[in-house]
Structure 1
Amino acid sequence: MTGDGTPAGAPARPSFRAVFAVREFRPLFGTYTLSTIGDELARVALTVLVYQRTDSPLLSAITFALSFLPWVVGGPVLATIADRFPRHRVLIVSDVVRAVLVALMAVPGTPLAVLLVLLLAVSLCAPPFESARSALMADVLEGERYAVATSLTNTSLQLAQVVGFVGAGALVTVLDPSVVLLADAVTFAVSAVWLSAGLQRRPAPAEADEGPTSVWRETAEGLRVIGRLPRLTAIITLLWTGVLFTNVAEGIAAPLTDGLGGGATQLGVLLAANPLGQTIGGLVVARFLGTARAERLVPAMVVVSLVPVLLAGLVALSAGPGRGAFLAVVALLFVGGLGCSWLIPLNVAFVQAVPAQFRGRAFGVAVSGLYGVQGLGALGAGLAAEEVPAAAVVAVAGGIGLVAVVPCLLGLARTRPGVAGRHRAAGPSVS
């Protein structure tokens, strides 16, 4: 039996309505979507601003990647906050702090260097917030309801990115970036109020631990939880490797769009192509595929996520500037997004395999790596694009990615037989 009473292997899946009927899921879902839209508005505005001022692919990529930096240098440590303090409080405080910092970024005439420092400070709130949100989702929902909710949340993330990217591309052409940043600050303020009104007050999970605690010990615990379960290690390896190569085009989207003859509006459309594909693919996974069936399709979906990256780079490189080439690249990135739905079943498998008291820490490690490889991928792509066309960088990333994921997929397959039962025994008993 699954956690919600559905017989294992049964084709029935909880409806979206049944998931939204859970009162605490609604603010968790809604605020995450709202804040993501605001974040993408701000990210595109800053990326365009830096590229316009400097005409440097590397500096543009650094701006795009800067929000990922806290995950790389301190994500696992910052994520322990989600287990040391009440998770609802972590969410609310993180949003209040981000609302204030982004409002400061919106002050007209703020020097570029100050904007980037404030962006880094805003990003420091992301690891505890994301870890607390993911852990609280597993507390609020269980079984197939949790799986459907996770798929819905991932789909919402992609759709929010589509709206944010396309909206930002259009708004930047008619509004000052300060106005766009102020809109981002408002989304954080609304999120904090909504979470405060909609979440149940729960004690910190770490309060049940025995003995003295520290963030360093708890960080090490999160790493050990992943390291001692081969299944989790295999999932993490595939997640990090696949994401490293599927998101390269985002980091150098400004010079790539420029090479195709596009402007700010086209930049927003190009950035939205992959998330839109993930939105549609995620809806299919969430509503029509069970977790087990979706996981069996992971190898095929991984290939589908990378081949279009290779082809998009080749098309952009060979065709040159023009509407036809731009539309072809956008279409290929959209197909790649459909393939990226493989992230959903692995996300569900990972989070449900971790004991409840370690979810915040383990999720922090996983997401730190995900954001870290995205940031490193963007920086590497930006550095390479200083010397060669951005289209060539995208094509090479797609080709290398197809080779790099092969051992990861083999490792995932080796851990699947006979391991699921042990994971369930080690995992939490949700009531």
Structure 2
Amino acid sequence: MTGEAGGGERPSFRAVFAVPEFRPLFGTYTLSTIGDELARVALTVLVYQRTDSPLLAAVTFGLSFLPWVVGGPVLATIADRFPRHRVLIVSDVVRAVLVALMALPGLPLWALLALLLTVSLCAPPFESARSALMADVLDGERYAVASSLTNTSSQLAQVIGFVGAGALVGLLGPSAVLLLDAATFAVSAVWLSAGLQRRPAPAASSDEPASVWRETAEGLRLIRGIPRLTAIIALLWPGVLFTNVAEGIAAPLTDDLGGAALQLGVLLAANPLGQTVGGLVVARFLGTERAGRMVPGLVVASLVPVLLAGLVALVAGPGRAAFVTVVVLLFVGGLGCSWLIPLNVAFVQAVPAAFRGRAFGVAVSGLYGVQGLGALGAGLAAERVPPAAVVAVAGGLGLVAVLPGLLGLVRTRPGVAGRHRAAGPSVS
């Protein structure tokens, strides 16, 4: 392990970047996230332009989350069964090739979506291996700062990807944007190959190889058996579901507000930009303990602006003033979403090292799953009612849905999380 056990002065960003293996893990994650958002916006715009259907646009946006729903915990066990550096590199090579195929001119829409789904199958093992390796190379408060940094960079990468996609799709076309995404995966594979140590598979020390299904069940039992983890999941999944509904119907919502492709990118970037700013404050100044006490207030602050944004868009209708107000409200909601950082650290502190990949797979499968299902549900609802009404209802329902998780989090605060060092994966 590299790092410090926790306690004492909070490490600086420079101290975290001084750990050699953190740099490729951080850099490639940021690079790939930018490329993913470029591709997601390009495909969403393409489908909406061809079909004029909010549902099909939402299906396209949410399709990349589907593998987490149907097989995320199973696919995530790959991170515990094979060398984690190899899982990362192979996943990136496969995605580079498949995304390059998506850029072929004249490819039918069904083929594009099939390739997108296949690319998305690489995400669960990649994300599980990356997060588990983060805990291998960092510990204690360095891990907490690194986790906050990664979360913040992810949001910033989404901002760059969304805004850049809005401009590049109009300037270069969807195929060129997809080729840029393929290039990010290729660069990532080379960087990871050069920067990571070669470690054996975590499961190699076991006398008897466990089945994938048994390992998956163990991850589920772990979550269910520790009250602290159960409370975290009960807050994480509905909180993320309702704060991200606007993303799934961003194209028709922007259209109703009188915007075009560039405005779509700005609207999509508003929440991640807020999370970037909020995450930097949490990572560098508040500390995990103080931020943890602020979670209930931050959760409310992440959902109320969603409710207000939907109401403003519904009442005001098309126009620049309404669009700017909605963007500002989504940005404020993103500031509130910094609750994800202390929640992530609490999850990390409660997970035994041997279950990193499996526990992460369960948590993030649900996390991505609710985002995908939320996008599909929002798209289906927007076929019948205005997209703005869908956003407003999501904000209101979210405030009710997070209450059980918040109560559970408060009840378990002095429990399991305080008795383990930070040695697990990121769930953000």
- Measured against the shorter chain, the TM-score band is over 0.9
Q: Does 1:163 align with 2:160?
A: yes
Contact kept, 8 Å, 2:6 with 2:139, in 1: the verdict is no
Contact kept, 8 Å, 1:351 with 1:363, in 2: the verdict is no
Q: Secondary structure at the match of 1:50?
A: helix
Q: Relative to structure 2, which stretch is displaced further, 249-258 or 283-292?
A: 283-292
Contact kept, 8 Å, 1:251 with 1:378, in 2: the verdict is yes
Q: Secondary structure at the match of 2:399?
A: helix
Q: Relative to structure 2, which stretch is displaced further, 248-257 or 211-220?
A: 211-220
Cα distance, 1:406 vs structure 2: 1.2
Report Cα offsets for 1:175-215 as digits up to 9, x if no partner.
Answer: 12100000000000000000000000001111122323111
Q: Does 1:241 align with 2:238?
A: yes
Partner Cα separation in structure 1 for residue 159 and residue 409 of structure 2 = 31
Q: Does 1:136 align with 2:129?
A: no
- Corresponding letter in the other structure for 2:252: P
- Corresponding letter in the other structure for 2:248: G
Partner Cα separation in structure 1 for residue 44 and residue 417 of structure 2 = 43
> Structure 2 vs 1, CA of residues 345 and 55 (structure 1 numbering), >3 Å: closer, same or farther?
same
Cα distance, 1:416 vs structure 2: 1.2
Which residue of 2 is the match for residue 225 of structure 1? 222
Which residue of 2 is the match for residue 336 of structure 1? 333
- Corresponding letter in the other structure for 2:401: A
| Counterparts of residues 331-370 of structure 1 (less than 5 Å) | 331-370=328-367
Q: Does 1:24 align with 2:1?
A: no
| TM-score using structure 1 length | 0.96
| Counterparts of residues 15-54 of structure 1 (less than 5 Å) | 15-54=12-51
Partner Cα separation in structure 1 for residue 190 and residue 44 of structure 2 = 29
Which residue of 2 is the match for residue 70 of structure 1? 67
The one of 52, 56, 61 equivalent to 1:59 is: 56
> Structure 2 vs 1, CA of residues 370 and 5 (structure 1 numbering), >3 Å: closer, same or farther?
closer
Partner Cα separation in structure 2 for residue 92 and residue 288 of structure 1 = 34
Which residue of 1 is the match for residue 269 of structure 2? 272
| Counterparts of residues 152-301 of structure 1 (less than 5 Å) | 152-301=149-298
- The count of aligned residue pairs is 423
Contact kept, 8 Å, 2:203 with 2:209, in 1: the verdict is no
Cα distance, 1:427 vs structure 2: 6.8
Contact kept, 8 Å, 1:35 with 1:191, in 2: the verdict is yes
Identity value in percent = 85
Which residue of 2 is the match for residue 383 of structure 1? 380
Partner Cα separation in structure 1 for residue 189 and residue 286 of structure 2 = 34
Q: Does 1:119 align with 2:134?
A: no
Partner Cα separation in structure 2 for residue 417 and residue 354 of structure 1 = 16
Partner Cα separation in structure 2 for residue 4 and residue 422 of structure 1 = 16
The one of 91, 96, 101 equivalent to 2:88 is: 91
Q: Relative to structure 2, which stretch is displaced further, 402-411 or 89-98?
A: 402-411
Q: Relative to structure 2, which stretch is displaced further, 200-209 or 157-166?
A: 200-209
Contact kept, 8 Å, 1:71 with 1:367, in 2: the verdict is yes
Report Cα offsets for 1:363-420 as digits up to 9, x if no partner.
Answer: 0110000000000000000000000000000000000101111121001111112433
Partner Cα separation in structure 2 for residue 72 and residue 212 of structure 1 = 26
Contact kept, 8 Å, 2:348 with 2:423, in 1: the verdict is no
Partner Cα separation in structure 2 for residue 43 and residue 351 of structure 1 = 29
Contact kept, 8 Å, 2:353 with 2:423, in 1: the verdict is yes
Partner Cα separation in structure 2 for residue 385 and residue 144 of structure 1 = 44
| TM-score using structure 2 length | 0.97
- Corresponding letter in the other structure for 2:310: G
Note the residue ranges of structure 2 that are not aligned, 5 or more in a row.
none
Q: Does 1:105 align with 2:102?
A: yes
Partner Cα separation in structure 2 for residue 247 and residue 5 of structure 1 = 35
Report Cα offsets for 1:256-281 as digits up to 9, x if no partner.
Answer: 00000000000000000000000000
Q: Secondary structure at the match of 1:67?
A: helix
Q: Secondary structure at the match of 1:321?
A: coil
What's the Cα RMSD here? 1.4
- Corresponding letter in the other structure for 1:4: E
Partner Cα separation in structure 1 for residue 89 and residue 5 of structure 2 = 32
Report Cα offsets for 1:35-65 as digits up to 9, x if no partner.
Answer: 0000000000000000000000000000000
Which residue of 2 is the match for residue 317 of structure 1? 314
Partner Cα separation in structure 2 for residue 344 and residue 420 of structure 1 = 15
Contact kept, 8 Å, 1:138 with 1:352, in 2: the verdict is no
Report Cα offsets for 1:89-148 as digits up to 9, x if no partner.
Answer: 000000000000001001111111100000000000000000000000000000000000
The one of 304, 309, 330 equivalent to 1:307 is: 304
Partner Cα separation in structure 1 for residue 21 and residue 349 of structure 2 = 19
- Corresponding letter in the other structure for 1:400: L
- Corresponding letter in the other structure for 1:161: Q
Which residue of 2 is the match for residue 4 of structure 1? 4
Partner Cα separation in structure 2 for residue 345 and residue 207 of structure 1 = 32
- Corresponding letter in the other structure for 1:352: Q
Note the residue ranges of structure 1 that are not aligned, 5 or more in a row.
none
Q: Relative to structure 2, which stretch is displaced further, 225-234 or 81-90?
A: 225-234
